[in-house]
Amino acid sequence: MNNRIYKIVIVESLTLLVISGCSSIPTKNKTEEMVPTYICYHVKSGEIKIDGILNENVWQKVPVTCSFKTFDNKTAPYKFTTYARLLWDQQYLYICFFCQDNDIWATMKKRDAPLYEEEVIEVYIDADNDKLTYTEIEINPLGAIFDAIILNDGIQTIKNVTLNWTCLDMKLGIKIKGTIENRKDKDKYWTVEIAIPFSSLPDIKSYPPEEGEVFGINMIRYERTKEKFWHLTWAPCYTEGWPHIPNKFGRVIFKRS
């Protein structure tokens, strides 16, 4: 399976997703149960300018995540090197992405369009770490946003999606080193900088987070060459094209210093 297949039916104000073509749950083994951890450090407000340029001292000082792997935990091609960093202040969770890419492309510009059918980065945030409810935020190189609240069965099936949810006051900056519209030339990379207000997360217990609090988070990149689909990920989910497996999200631990 190389893509999510959503059949969308509008039910009152909500949108119900029915999944088809979803792979069965893989057999659990020790490797699959291990999820990555990232220490998310606190910064003073105003230290990050959300413009897609990752030149702030605070970004330079914190470690990057491991380079994203394939969905099944294998090393991804060097030419698609992808990593992220996270920080927080009293108001926002900050995430930045670096995506090396010699052919950056996307066509969709509308909010909540199926950006996952093209090239995109995605963030899944389970703020109360209950493995059931989480927010999904996707951003493509054109700056289009898909944001939704997901209700999962805790394993790998979506029970409900609220597409009309908007991540209020989210700030977004993108820098493209290359061209999106021209697929014949050689691009270099794209970077994304996002500030997500804690107040916008529907399943957050309280905010700002407590010292040591853990969010379940996953970060994904879909890279699509003319020949092949690459599902690249921070926390491997072992099901290609289907990241909705909240017990395989990574752990982001909030630290003040």
Is 136 a binder of Ca ion (CB under 5 A)? no
Identify the residue among 5, 34, 39, 49 touching Ca ion (CB under 5 A): 49
Q: How far apart are CA 220 and CA 234, in angstroms?
A: 6
DSSP string, 23-65: PPPPPP-HHHH---EEEEEE--TT----SS----HHHHHSPPP
CB closer to Ca ion, 40 vs 223: 223
Q: How many residues in the shown chain lie near Ca ion by CB under 5 A?
A: 10
Q: How far is the CB of 80 from Ca ion (least distance, A)?
A: 8
Candidate residues 89, 122, 128, 147; the one interacting with Ca ion per rule CB under 5 A:
128
Taking the chain, what is the end-to-end CA distance rounded to the nearest angstrom? 42
Q: How far is CA 253 from the centre of its chain?
A: 17
53 binds Ca ion (CB under 5 A): yes
Closest Cα to residue 157, out of 241, 242, 216, 219?
A: 242
Of 40 and 195, nearer to Ca ion (C-beta) is 195
CA distance 117 to 106: 9
For position 101 contacting Ca ion by CB under 5 A, the verdict is yes
The stretch near Ca ion (CB under 5 A) out of 14-22, 50-58, 207-215, 233-241 is 50-58
Least gap, CB of 74 to Ca ion (angstroms): 19
Among 85, 94, 127, 89, residue whose Cα is nearest residue 255: 89
**What residues from 179 to 208 belong to the interface with Ca ion (CB under 5 A)?**
203
Place of tokens 């996952």: 116
Establish if 159 lies at the interface with Ca ion (CB under 5 A).
no
Asked if 62 touches Ca ion (CB under 5 A), the answer is no
Residue 224 makes CB contacts below 8 A (sequence gap 6+) with 105, 118, 119, 230
Task: Report the candidate in 36, 100, 89 with the shortest Cα–Cα distance to residue 63.
Answer: 36
What's the min distance (Å) between Cβ of 49 and Ca ion?
A: 4
Q: Which of 73, 130, 160, 247 binds Ca ion (CB under 5 A)?
A: 130
Contact set with Ca ion (CB under 5 A): 49, 51, 53, 101, 103, 126, 128, 130, 133, 203
